Amino acid sequence: MERTRNNSNNSYDDNYEPDYYNSYDDGNIRSDKKKRRRNKRRRVVLWLITLGILAILIDLIVLLYTGRIWFNSPARKEYPVQGITVSSLQGAINFNAIEIENISFAYIKSSEGKSLKDKQFDASWNNSKDSTVKTGAYHKFSFTDDGKSQAENFIQTVGKITKNGYRLIPAVEVTKSRLSLAYSPEKDTVVKELKEYCKAIKDEYGVNPIIITGDKFYKDFLKNDFSGYKLWIIDLFSKPDSISWSLWNYSPRGKLEGTSNSKNYINLSVFNGSKHDFSKLQY
């Protein structure tokens, strides 16, 4: 008798795939999902780190802009004589309030070029007499006007300087700013006109003015011809160790009580010496 073949149990299906193939595909899928999750976590972490760095940078910029921190911070123990420069940008000045903040001196902008006069100078100059803050006047030198006419503008604006009111010897700021940044003035012309300015000031007041300038500008333009002058160096990023200086303007972001226009900042400076040494700058 012929045996009957059980087709249901022994039939062969061409579409059949062994279980190990399905297991392999499931493993790949799980592996891909894990990779995607890891990549997503990495992206999230990178974004969080980036946002954190941006937040720190923004905070740092705000702190620098508002003057709460700065690149320089001269210690009062090392530099006991600290001062400021002010102009009409700061508005009316209450020198008694500034005195309370341990400010020893203030230089007040008087004039600029051959004809400009700071509109707040007269009020600040007169009001300062009632405090013990020693005050001086400074002129902003122009590279487009002759030195003699600029000196005449300063002299007419400030007038006679007496010892009453703790007055300091005059100063002149010689820096590139605003329009002068667009071109480089001729060195010989700068030297010639500044000499004329200084000569007229010395003829009137009996002293050479303090020269306010930057380290680089002094070395490039003035070093050989004004070596005997007292220097007020502007260096906002580091102490000007490469040059001999009497005063150092270290920050443009000072905030003090006593100015009516608190939106504008004040330039902060220190004197390089003792209080006794500083008294020699008194007129």
The helix or strand, by DSSP H or E, that contains position 253, with its residue range, turns out to be strand 247-254
Give, rounded to a whole angstrom, the gap between the first and last alpha carbons of the chain: 141
Give the pLDDT of residue 179. Answer: 56
The 8 Å CB, 24+ separation contacts for 98-101 are: 98/131, 98/133, 98/256, 98/257, 98/258, 99/131, 99/132, 99/133, 100/257, 101/256, 101/257, 101/258
Give strand pairing partners of 173.
140, 212
Q: What is the pLDDT along the chain (283 residues), one digit of tens a residue?
A: 444 444 445 555 555 555 555 555 666 666 777 777 777 788 877 887 887 777 777 765 665 565 555 567 888 899 999 999 999 999 999 999 999 999 999 999 999 999 999 999 999 999 998 889 999 999 999 999 999 999 999 999 999 998 766 899 999 999 987 655 566 789 999 999 999 999 999 999 999 999 999 999 999 999 999 988 999 999 988 899 889 999 999 998 888 888 888 677 899 999 999 999 999 999 8
d(CA 280, CA 276): 7
Phi, psi of 30 (to 5 degrees): -65, -40
Q: Tell me, which fold does domain 82-281 have in CATH?
A: TIM Barrel (3.20.20)
User: Mind listing the pLDDT tens digit for each residue in 137-167?
Assistant: 999 999 999 999 999 999 999 999 987 668 9
- DSSP character for 268? E
Phi, psi of 2 (to 5 degrees): -85, 130
Strands 210-214 and 105-112: unpaired
Show me where the domains of the chain are located: 16-65, 82-281
The token pair at 72 is 């320089």
User: Mind listing the pLDDT tens digit for each residue in 20-43?
Assistant: 555 556 666 667 777 777 777 888
